[in-house]
Amino acid sequence: MTQAVAILTSGGDAPGMNAAIRAATRVGIAEGLQVYGVSRGFQGLIDDAIVPLTARSVSNIIHQGGTFLRTARSQEFMTLEGQQKAAAHLTKRGITGLIAIGGDGTFHGCEALSKVWSGQVIGVPGTIDNDLYGSDYTIGFDTAINTVLEAIDRLRDTAESHERFFLVEVMGRWAGYIALAATVAGGAEQVILPKTDTDISKIAHAMDEGRRLGKTSGIVVVSEQGSEGAVYEIAKQMEKNAQGRYRITVLGHVQRGGSPTAVDRILATKLGAYAVKLIRQEQNAVMAGEMAGKLVAVPLVETWTRKEAKPLDDFLLKILPALAM
């Protein structure tokens, strides 16, 4: 049975990662495990940047955004040589369990590591994008949409004061969870989602119709289409088919930062602790998630191969036209 476990964070940071690290560390110690922290994700495994963690190591971090272990994307780890080097450093220290907090890129890395290392690998979903199958919500999502909501509320003040219309781009890669949630909660007039047959001219005409009916300001939430900046081309298309100009706001990386909400702190604590329980149960290559209020262990490979089984809220999509009146 595993006697030593390492914890790392990888990929984009997400509010609540520290809460997950804290829970995994303290529950691990309570379970009699030696706990290690890995600095800078998979690159830290390659560089042997592995240090023991104690209960005091994770004091006063639950409220902090980001990750105190730091995070990075490692090109070297994408090679077989890099993966073998990482495995050798884990084995050298007698570590036979790894808890990796991150998104699908992190979990792809875990799968690769499991092919060259005999230890247990448990994933914890830490990404603001909420784009992993196996957990209704991922760590950081709630904080991110609240950050976006605050920005939309502030922009609404300016839009109303100056009688202007805004396009607001939010993160989410190829998933539209942040955009849809922010649109509904922020009372935005329209949303442009990725991987949908969106008719930009139709949206532009709908905004013009709002003007005709007396609206003097409005907000269109635009989900990034895989990368930041797609909103500029969308603005050109909107203005080509609309009567007025649109101001552009790209929220960018501000969505990843900030103190995590209570929702994210609690979710991260549960999933971090549950990851340790899965280690103790000798589970391997699974993600600790929560679905319909129950903790679940989902095969890592399903977290990215079954994304279609986690669609956007169809009810919200259907009522958006009515909400935009």
Active site (catalytic) residues: 129
CA distances from 229 to 13, 19, 302 (A): 20, 31, 30
CA 71, 72, 73, 78 dihedral sign is negative
Give the whole-angstrom CA distance, residue 115 versus residue 97: 14
Looking at this protein, which amino acid is placed at residue 236? K
In 119-246, DSSP assigns E strands to 120-125, 165-170, 190-192, 218-223
Give the whole-angstrom CA distance, residue 240 versus residue 36: 56
Burial class (CB in 10 A: 0-12, 13-18, 19+), 208: middle
Q: Phi/psi of residue 108, each to 5°?
A: -60, -40
- Residue 242's nearest CA partner among 324, 165, 159, 317 is 165
- Please compute Rg for the chain using Cα positions: 22
